[in-house]
Each structure stands twice: as structure tokens, then as C-alpha cells.
Amino acid sequence: MADSPELRTTVDLDGPYTVRHSLPGSGAAIDPTRRSRPDSVSFAVRTPEGPVSVRARVVDDSLELDCWGAGSGWMAGRGPALAGRHDDPRTVRFDHERLDDLNRRNLGLRHGAHGCVVGELFARVLGQRVLAIEAGKSWRALCEELGDPAPGPLDLLLAPDPERLADTPTWWFHQHGVERSRARTLVAVARNARRLSEVVDLPLPEAYGRMRAVPGLGPWTVNGVARTALGDPDAIIVGDYWISHTVCSYFTGRARGSDEEMLALVERWAGQRGRVERLIHLSGQRIQRFGPGRPTPRIARM
């Protein structure tokens, strides 16, 4: 059959697992490298052994991975990480009635890790300081012009090729809504792609340090990538326009709060702070917005 995988592997699940929550994307509003459905997640990434397209779904008590492309074997070897075997919510106790109840109702929330950080960094950098919809448009454009069609029948694109992006002048990105600052960061990531790809094999503190050493990669970017690519349940997003307000509101009842207040509120759950943030999001907690959003200026016309 045309859609039969080149490689299929299954990983026994050691407990509840919700695939669309356990394999989240980079946060881009329009992501041509990923597709999420209630019962499956498909994504395309560049592995150290080549590109791969993956369709992940739960079948009985296993995570089934269908793979296409040269990176199939490498990704199949990451099956336990994708299944979140390192991250069992049933062992987590917050000693906080509302959080423990949320956790019990969302035991399928794992922090799966596909291990491919460079493409995630590209997507995340584009989300710095702009609305998600604008970042998504830029991300699609870069994947179309600097990426490649992903292998297999899933109709996905690969993230930009690092070598191609590294040789792209910063002025070129302007036509796709990316100003000089983010363009320089993208090029810096591309030029450090080999060392950045190695962080998957490093202890988390060293992985964070190596990513933060690249100019332009701050905690908003790095923590988001550590969550999706490295599966860190402590990766809480700071520097976001809404997240600190939402988390602080959950605990205090006030409509607004700072990153500093948020971090102080969740400090006692160090090691699981990212899970706290994600559980609050899944709870439906929303904050009051006091005025209309402000559109991002049309950078390509500036």
C-alpha cells in the first residue's frame, strides 16, 4: 500500500498516554511540519541520520510509530522517550488539592521527547515578540523556501535545512515578516546546528547552557524547545505575554501577574513546574482581557 510505513515500531506504554498532549508542537499557529488529530500526531524532523516523517498513535496499550525516511531507525530508537517513559504523572504529588485533582484527571499528559532541537529552535525563534499567527506565516514560508518535502505520504514539510539557512543573508528574511534581530538569531542557530543537535545526549542543565550560549536564545525560546524536544517536565515558559498572567490568576484570583510572581508561586514544585503550567492550561483557566489585541506591524512593508 502507498501509505505503508517503511518502518513500524511499537513501544509498550506503562500507563495512560494522550498522544496529542504528550507530543506537543513548537507552538507555531500554522505548522507545515506537524499535524495533530485527536487520535494521532504526525511530524517531520531532521535527525542525525537524515529526515523522517512519523505518525504516532496509541493502539491498545502501545504507542505505534510509523516512520518514513532515512531517519526512521534513529527515531524508532527514541520510542521510549516519545512514549514519555521518563515522565510518569502517577508518581507526581503536588500536595495541592486543585493541582492533584487536575493531575489525576490528566494522567495521559506525558512529556514526550523527539530529540531534534534545531528545527524546534527555528520555529520558536520566529515566535519571539510577535503574534502566533504572524510567526506561523513566517514559519510556513521558511519551510517552503528553505526546507524540503518530508519523506512518505503524510504531506508534511521539513524544517529549513541548516546549511541553506546559514548561508542566507539576514535581509532575505524581511520579505517573510522577520526583522533583522530574529533573522540574525536564526542564522546563529543554523551556524551552530551541529553542536546544538548534540544537546539531546547531554544532561539537561548542560543542554540548557549550550542553547542559552547562542546569542538571541533566551528562556522563552530555550524552555519551549526543552519541553518538546527534550521532554523536560520542569520547562516552564517565561517571557510570554499571557502565561504568567494565567498561572498567577489560577493561584491568586487576580487578573495579572509577573514572571517573577509566577516562578515564586511554583517554586515548591521544582522539577514539575512545566507540568503545573500545562495542567493549568488544560483546566480551562483563562484571564480577562481588557482591550483588543494589537496587530504586528507588516515587517515586509517597512
Q: What CATH number does residue 89 fall under?
A: 3.30.310
181 and 140 in a single domain? The answer is yes
Q: Using one digit for the tens of pLDDT, what is the confidence trace for 29-59?
A: 689 999 999 899 999 999 999 999 999 999 9
pLDDT < 50 stretches in the chain:
1
Nearest to 186 by CA among 199, 170, 197: 170
* Residue 46 domain-assigned (yes or no): yes
Full-prediction pTM beyond 0.85?
A: yes
Helix, coil or strand: residue 10: strand
pLDDT for 269: 98
In a domain, 255, yes or no: yes
Is 288 inside any structural domain? no
Same domain, 56 and 159: no
Same domain, 17 and 93: yes
Domain around 190: 117-229
Q: Given this model, what pLDDT does residue 289 score?
A: 64
Query: Tens digit of pLDDT for each residue in 253-265?
Result: 998 999 999 999 9
CA torsion 194-195-198-199 (nearest 10°) is -140
Q: What is residue 49's predicted lDDT score, i.e. its pLDDT?
A: 97
Q: How many domains does the chain have?
A: 3
Starting from the edge strand earliest in sequence, which strands make up the sheet with 40-47, in order?
A: 7-12, 62-68, 50-59, 40-47, 34-37
At 25 the pLDDT is: 83
| Same domain, residue pair 145 and 188 | yes
